[in-house]
């Protein structure tokens, strides 16, 4: 199992399984469980992972990441996935045989060997993720990586066409070589080829640890289960420093980048400026900046004590959770359009044609027919022209031949 920022909810599940008497082993690069207060009891097999050097500060990956060069980010990750496939597969295989694994929990990210091995050994596998990236998107959900909005509900026809037809076609084209290369690695360890970019996951159980309302609602397959938020039963206590800060700053913004992201100084300055602006506008009254790898002190705090007073007086924007009103008889009524907002998919508001993308698909099909029709017509013309040319030449040639014989 690999995955660094993806680890916590899996370890929580592991603790529960261990409580019930199962033997659990974490296989991951990085020394995680031994150094953790909460997960010390989970045995871990640590392996060297030179291929994840791509996540270091001076790496190609980081440069591409900060240049916003998504194509490059993907190509670096894909290269690493190809290069690490065989060694990961062999490590997982050796351990699986040593400890006689009955069930694989595999993090979804760049982890084809885990799913392939479970498939090869005929063992069940469960896919684990902290987001929905591993699910195929319905057309009304897209990806900002491709300059598309996440929620396409109110987008123009042009954008909906681009994000539902052009982008996936371009993407499919660009991943061909990648999947071919992965399949070449699979062949080296005797695993059959597989053409799904997500790996051998379409028929297995998928768990995602998330908060309802974080993602755009979508119609879902029963194979996918939202299990979030998975939170530990107990947390380590706050330091006195943080404790008093939070007590005096009820609207604190918490900022963290996860385990593997570095940000350049200019971005740090820009972020700080926007935090100060938020404090100035009285939207928040404090910031906790939690860093693992940024070159600033571990955690520093900002506050504007004069705006703190106004926010206590001005608590006018409470979280909206339960939208109810009383009718004239004093009976409580809710707005059904809104009550389960976090579960209502946007297509239900987009109307039948836009919601089902019938307009986009109809134009795509017409374009395809027009293009292939035009192409077919041109081909037929060329064939006919060549045939006539050929025939006349052949006639002349036969005439010449006749002349010569005569
Ligand atoms: C767990 O491991 C121990 C020691 O290897 C073994 O005796 C026990 O049967 C295992 N338990 C299960 C449920 O597999
Ligand atoms: C992992 O961390 C623990 C606790 O700090 C330490 O005892 C152990 O030697 C480390 N293991 C490796 C392989 O670095
Ligand atoms: C960082 O990664 C690059 C490859 O992407 C590697 O050449 C370099 O040695 C790594 N540096 C460190 C400090 O690990
Ligand atoms: C789209 O517009 C509707 C109506 O104005 C609004 O209720 C909805 O929140 C909008 N959706 C998005 C994603 O902006
Ligand atoms: C703190 O708040 C005061 C008054 O609202 C404002 O003038 C000042 O610029 C703020 N300081 C910072 C650091 O935002």
d(CA 113, CA 1): 9
| Beta strand extents in 60-204 (DSSP E only) | 104-107, 125-129
Ligand 2 atom nearest to CA at 31: 1
pLDDT above 70 (res 55): no
DSSP state of 150: S
Terminal alpha carbon distance of the chain: 86
Tell me if 278 CB under 6 Å of ligand 5: no
Which class is domain 8-226? Answer: alpha beta
184 in Cβ contact with 177 (< 8 Å): no
C-beta of residue 159 within 8 angstroms of C-beta of residue 152:
yes
The H or E element that residue 44 is part of is strand 44-46
User: Can you count the helices (H) and strands (E) in the chain?
Assistant: 13, 11
Q: Is 307 in the pocket of ligand 5 (CB under 6 A)?
A: yes
Q: Are strands 324-326 and 332-334 parallel, antiparallel or unpaired?
A: antiparallel
What is the CA(207)–ligand 1 centre distance, in A? 26
Q: How many Å lie between the centroid of ligand 3 and the Cα of residue 62?
A: 11
pLDDT tens column, 218-258: 888 888 888 878 888 887 788 888 888 888 888 988 887 76
Higher-scoring residue by pLDDT: 259, 75: 75
Alpha-carbon gap, residue 285 to 307, rounded angstroms: 7
How far apart CA 96 and CA 122 sit, in angstroms, is: 12
Instruction: List, chain by chain if needed, residues with CB within 6 Å of any ligand 1 atom.
Output: 21-23
Beta bridge partners of 126: 105, 205
* pLDDT of res. 54: 61
In whole angstroms, what is the distance from residue 314 CA to residue 250 CA?
A: 12
pLDDT of 309: 32
Q: Give CA–CA dist 213/401, Å, rounded.
A: 84
Chain segment 287-328, per-residue pLDDT in tens: 887 765 444 433 334 444 333 333 333 333 333 237 456 667
Ligand 5 pocket, 306 CB below 6 A?
yes
For residues 308 and 285, is the Cβ–Cβ distance under 8 A? Answer: yes
Q: What is the DSSP letter of 33?
A: G
Judged by DSSP in three states, 75 sits in helix
* Ligand 1 mean position, distance from CA 46 (Å): 20
Give the closest residue (by CA) to ligand 1 atom 10: 23
Task: Report which bound ligand comes closest to the CA of 60.
Answer: 3
User: What's the mean pLDDT when you consider all of the chain?
Assistant: 81
Spacing, Cα 234 to ligand 2 middle (Å): 24
Q: Alpha helices, DSSP H only, in 189-258?
A: 240-248
Q: Which atom from ligand 4 is nearest to the alpha carbon of 216?
A: 13
Parse the chain into domains and list their residue ranges.
8-226, 240-344, 352-405
pTM of the model: 0.74
Indicate which ligand has the atom closest to the C-alpha of 275.
5
* Number of the ligand closest to the Cα of 44: 2
Quick: pLDDT tens for 60-69: 777 787 777 8
Of 45-59, 73-87, 219-233, the least confident:
45-59
**394: number of Cβ within 10 Å:** 10
Question: Does residue 55 contact residue 73 with C-beta atoms inside 8 Å?
Answer: no
Spatial contact of 129 and 114, defined as CB atoms under 8 Å apart: no
Q: In the prediction, which pLDDT does 259 show?
A: 61
pLDDT above 90 covers what percent of the chain?
33
Sign of CA dihedral 120, 125, 131, 134: positive
Burial class (CB in 10 A: 0-12, 13-18, 19+), 5: middle
CA dist 129 and 117 (Å) reads 19
Q: Is the CB of 153 under 6 A from ligand 4?
A: yes
Environment class of residue 63 by beta-carbon count within 10 Å: exposed (0-12), middle (13-18) or buried (19+)? middle
DSSP letter for 259, please: S
Nearest CA to ligand 1 atom 9: 23
């Amino acid at each position: 199992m690999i995955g660094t920022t993806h680890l916590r909810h899996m370890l929580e599940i592991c603790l529960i399984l261990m409580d019930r008497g199962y033997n659990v082993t974490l296989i991951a690069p990085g020394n995680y469980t031994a150094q953790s207060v909460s997960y010390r009891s989970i045995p871990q097999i640590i392996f060297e992972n030179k291929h994840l050097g791509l996540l270091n500060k001076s790496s190609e990956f980081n440069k591409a990441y900060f240049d916003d060069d998504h194509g490059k980010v993907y190509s670096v990750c894909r290269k690493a996935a190809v290069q690490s496939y065989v060694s990961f597969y062999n490590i997982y295989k050796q351990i699986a045989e040593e400890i006689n694994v009955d069930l694989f929990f595999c993090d979804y990210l760049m982890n084809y060997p885990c799913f392939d091995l479970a498939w090869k050994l005929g063992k069940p596998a469960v896919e684990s993720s902290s987001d929905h990236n591993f699910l195929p998107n319905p057309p009304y959900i897209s990806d900002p990586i491709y300059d598309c909005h996440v929620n396409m509900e109110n987008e123009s026809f042009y954008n909906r066409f681009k994000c539902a037809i052009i982008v996936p076609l371009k993407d499919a084209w660009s991943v061909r070589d990648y999947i071919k290369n992965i399949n070449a690695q699979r062949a080296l360890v005797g695993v059959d080829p597989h053409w799904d970019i997500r790996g051998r996951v379409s028929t297995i159980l998928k768990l995602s640890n998330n908060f309802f309302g974080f993602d755009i609602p979508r119609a879902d397959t029963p194979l996918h289960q939202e299990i979030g938020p998975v939170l530990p039963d107990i947390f380590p206590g706050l330091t006195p420093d943080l404790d008093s800060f939070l007590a005096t700053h009820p609207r604190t913004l918490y900022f963290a980048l996860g385990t593997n992201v570095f940000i350049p100084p200019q971005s740090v300055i820009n972020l700080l400026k926007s935090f100060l602006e938020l404090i100035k506008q009285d939207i928040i009254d404090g910031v906790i900046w939690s860093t693992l790898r940024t070159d600033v002190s571990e955690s520093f705090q900002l506050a504007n004590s004069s705006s703190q007073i106004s926010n206590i007086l001005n608590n006018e924007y409470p979280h909206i959770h339960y939208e109810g009103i009383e009718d004239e008889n004093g009976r409580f009524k809710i707005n059904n359009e809104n009550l389960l907002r976090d579960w209502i998919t946007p297509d239900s508001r987009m109307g039948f044609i836009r919601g089902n993308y019938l307009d986009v698909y109809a134009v795509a099909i017409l374009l395809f027919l027009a293009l292939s029709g035009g192409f077919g017509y041109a081909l037929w013309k060329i064939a006919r022209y060549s045939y006539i040319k050929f025939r006349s030449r052949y006639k002349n040639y036969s005439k010449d031949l006749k002349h010569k014989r005569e």
